[in-house]
């Protein structure tokens, strides 16, 4: 008999403060990197054109007090609509809701002596609203929303002082929500930093010769901060589970030439595993050490950093999965397509969504097996989904069969992986309610079961509508993944 999803499987969805909350200058919150990311109309699928964060773009944004061209400043106004929105998630039967806390709300000046009570009162309400419905809140401590003050005062994560500031911030959350929040994520997709350092680490010196060294130093500080946060979470509430997270870039060899297999192994190490090894096994891998040597990178590591990394590893492995790529020893004449934050080689066996991201449900089963085999820790799929151009009909319906097809194929593969013996205990699909795109700041790139009537420039009634997928996911949860049909 095939195994089913475990009875207590955590079905739900995930959002991030900087893409949903809006209220960018309310309640004492100060500016964050996403608040400075200007909307660009994107040439979908052809080439990657994500918004690039620079010192200049931040300076330009600081002069602008309007939100029109800075969509993340308004999000979907979740700051004010959280009650109505969480009620809709409850209607779908959510068991878990992943959201992030905005650091710049809680510590508006970065190094304030006490947290901003108004911000915490807001998160109290969000947490209570979830608990009222029996939805478990799963909190990401830092999701791509670097406070600008931390860049200006400290130079971002390159500065070791950020460790203490992050630990102080995390402790405030652990103390406040110790009886209410069990699952925490330290950093969203920590591996994105190597490609998006200004955005995620707040390290802006891209023209500097040793920029990569700065990024790896910034990452080292994040690893230590995450380990310390894990330590304190356990001390404050022994029941709590703290996860690490990467965006998984699953990759296959372009051909069966041994050189392509080696290229694949290297890409997997470089894009995924070296970040997970540190957080799951508690040490820099041989690959990471060799990589740094090749790049002439010398990290400043304090004596007990390595002990801290070893002693406080992640309780579970969280990852996002959207697409896959291929690797080749000789990629010169191969076609590219865009992917999440990076351009990737095109796989002729796969179709892609309108943004060029290659759709690969089987790759999810492959990834789950690969990760479980390597780490033997419980796995949690923290993001999965596909961006699409939805059409709201006059009768308020949205027929999104493509979304149902994408998600049901991925869930089938999760079931296969469970049957393979993988310990998978939760799934928070990405953006259950439409929010602003992280890479492009578009609103029209929608992932949700709930349509938000708002366009790229913020026009629209802001009303929420249930898409066809809303009813589909409700049934998936109600049948614990047994019925995936429409
Ligand atoms: C993940 C991020 O990488 O991808 C999310 O954690 C993001 O914040 C998601 O929204 C989808 O990417 P995008 O650019 O389509 O919003």
**What digits encode the pLDDT tens for the residues 335-351?**
998 888 888 999 999 99
Q: Using one digit for the tens of pLDDT, what is the confidence trace for 223-242?
A: 999 999 999 999 999 999 99
Backbone angles phi, psi at 250, to 5 degrees: -65, 135
Among residues 189, 213, 416, 442, the one annotated as catalytic is: 189
Position 207 scores a pLDDT of 85
Q: Can you tell me which atom of ligand 1 is nearest the CA of 440?
A: 14
Q: For residue 358, what are the β-bridge partners?
A: 352
Q: Can you tell me which atom of ligand 1 is nearest the CA of 189?
A: 6
* Domain assignment present for 69: no
Chain position carrying tokens 């970040």: 275
Domain that holds residue 182: 10-35+75-478
* Domain assignment present for 207: yes
The two structure tokens encoding residue 377? 């820790």
The confidence band for 116, taking pLDDT boundaries of 50, 70 and 90, is very high
**Is residue 464 scored above 90 in pLDDT?**
yes
**Residue 330 CA to ligand 1 centre (angstroms):** 29
Position 45 scores a pLDDT of 47
Q: Can you tell me which atom of ligand 1 is nearest the CA of 144?
A: 8
Q: Which residues of 216-233 are buried (b: 16+ CB within 10 A; e: fewer)?
A: bbbbbbbbbbbbbbbebb
Residues 81, 85: Cα–Cα separation, whole Å: 6
**Residue 437 CA to ligand 1 centre (angstroms):** 6
- The three-class DSSP label of residue 104 is helix
Residues 6+ apart with CB under 8 A from 31: 24, 25, 61, 62, 104, 147, 148, 149
**Residue 384 CA to ligand 1 centre (angstroms):** 9
Residue ID of nearest Cα to ligand 1 atom 5: 438
Top mutation candidate among 430, 447, 456 for ligand 1, by most atoms within 8 Å of CB: 430
The count of residues in the chain is 486
Instruction: Decide: 48 and 195 in contact? Cβ < 8 Å.
Output: no
Among residues 21, 129, 213, 383, the one annotated as catalytic is: 383
User: How many domains does the chain contain in total?
Assistant: 1
**Angle at the Cα of 243 from the Cα atoms of 106 and 269, rounded to 5 degrees:** 120
**Residue 190 CA to ligand 1 centre (angstroms):** 13
Q: Using one digit for the tens of pLDDT, what is the confidence trace for 273-311?
A: 999 999 999 999 999 999 999 999 999 999 899 999 999
Q: Which residue ranges have their beta carbon within 6 Å of ligand 1?
A: 16, 19, 144, 188-189, 247, 320, 340, 383, 387, 430, 437-440, 445
Residues 6+ apart with CB under 8 A from 437: 19, 387, 443, 445
**Residue 247 CA to ligand 1 centre (angstroms):** 9
CATH of the domain at 399: 3.20.20.80
- The three-class DSSP label of residue 100 is strand
Residue ID of nearest Cα to ligand 1 atom 15: 437
**Is residue 140 scored above 80 in pLDDT?**
yes
Q: Using one digit for the tens of pLDDT, what is the confidence trace for 424-444?
A: 999 999 999 999 999 889 999
- The question of whether 189 is a catalytic residue gets the answer yes
- The question of whether 128 is a catalytic residue gets the answer no
Position 341 scores a pLDDT of 82
The confidence band for 327, taking pLDDT boundaries of 50, 70 and 90, is very high
Among 397, 412, 288, residue whose Cα is nearest residue 361: 412
Among 361, 484, 421, 485, residue whose Cα is nearest residue 2: 421
Counting Cβ atoms within 10 Å, is residue 293 exposed (0-12), middle (13-18) or buried (19+)?
Answer: exposed
**pTM higher than 0.95, yes or no?**
yes
């Amino acid at each position: 008999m095939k195994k089913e999803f475990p009875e207590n499987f955590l079905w739900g969805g995930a959002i991030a403060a900087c893409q949903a909350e809006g209220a960018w200058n309310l309640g004492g919150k100060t500016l964050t990197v996403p608040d400075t990311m200007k909307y660009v109309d994107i040439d979908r699928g052809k080439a990657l054109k994500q918004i690039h964060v620079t010192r200049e773009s931040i300076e330009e944004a600081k002069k602008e007090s309007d939100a029109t061209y800075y969509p993340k400043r308004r999000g979907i106004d979740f700051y004010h609509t959280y009650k109505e929105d969480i009620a809709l998630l409850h209607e779908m039967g959510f068991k878990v809701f992943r959201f992030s806390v905005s650091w710049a709300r809680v510590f508006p000046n970065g190094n304030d002596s006490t947290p901003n009570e108004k911000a915490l009162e807001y998160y109290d309400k969000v947490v209570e609203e979830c608990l009222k419905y029996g939805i478990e809140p799963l909190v990401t401590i830092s999701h791509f929303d670097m406070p600008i003050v931390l860049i200006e005062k400290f130079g971002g994560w390159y500065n070791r002082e950020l460790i203490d500031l992050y630990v102080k911030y995390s402790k405030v959350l652990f103390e406040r929500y110790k009886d209410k929040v069990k699952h925490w994520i330290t950093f969203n997709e920590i591996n994105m930093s190597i490609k998006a350092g200004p955005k995620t680490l707040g390290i802006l010196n891209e023209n500097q010769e040793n920029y990569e060294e700065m990024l790896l130093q910034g990452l080292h500080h994040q690893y230590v901060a995450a380990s310390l946060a894990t330590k304190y979470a356990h001390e404050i509430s022994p029941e709590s589970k703290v996860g690490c997270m990467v965006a998984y870039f699953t990759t296959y060899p372009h051909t069966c030439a041994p050189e392509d297999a080696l290229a694949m192994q290297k890409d997997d190490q470089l894009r995924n595993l070296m970040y997970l090894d540190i957080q799951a096994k508690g040490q820099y891998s041989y690959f990471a050490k060799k990589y740094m040597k090749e790049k002439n990178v010398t990290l400043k590591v304090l004596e007990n950093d390595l002990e801290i990394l070893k002693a406080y590893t992640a309780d579970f492995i969280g990852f996002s999965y959207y697409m896959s790529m291929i690797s080749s020893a000789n990629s010169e004449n191969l076609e590219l397509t865009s992917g999440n934050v990076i351009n990737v080689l095109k796989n002729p066996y796969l179709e892609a969504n309108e943004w060029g991201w290659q759709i690969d449900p089987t790759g999810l089963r492959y990834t789950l097996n690969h990760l479980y085999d390597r780490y033997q820790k419980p796995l949690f799929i923290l993001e999965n989904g596909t961006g699409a151009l939805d059409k709201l009909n006059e009768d308020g319906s949205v027929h999104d069969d493509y979304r149902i097809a994408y998600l049901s194929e991925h869930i089938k593969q999760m079931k296969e992986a469970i049957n393979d013996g993988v310990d998978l205990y939760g799934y928070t699909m990405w953006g259950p309610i439409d929010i602003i795109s992280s890479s492009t700041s578009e609103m029209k790139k929608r992932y949700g079961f709930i349509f938000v009537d708002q366009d790229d420039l913020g026009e629209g009634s802001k009303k929420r509508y249930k898409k066809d997928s809303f009813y589909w996911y409700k049934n998936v949860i109600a049948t614990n993944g047994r019925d995936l049909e429409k």
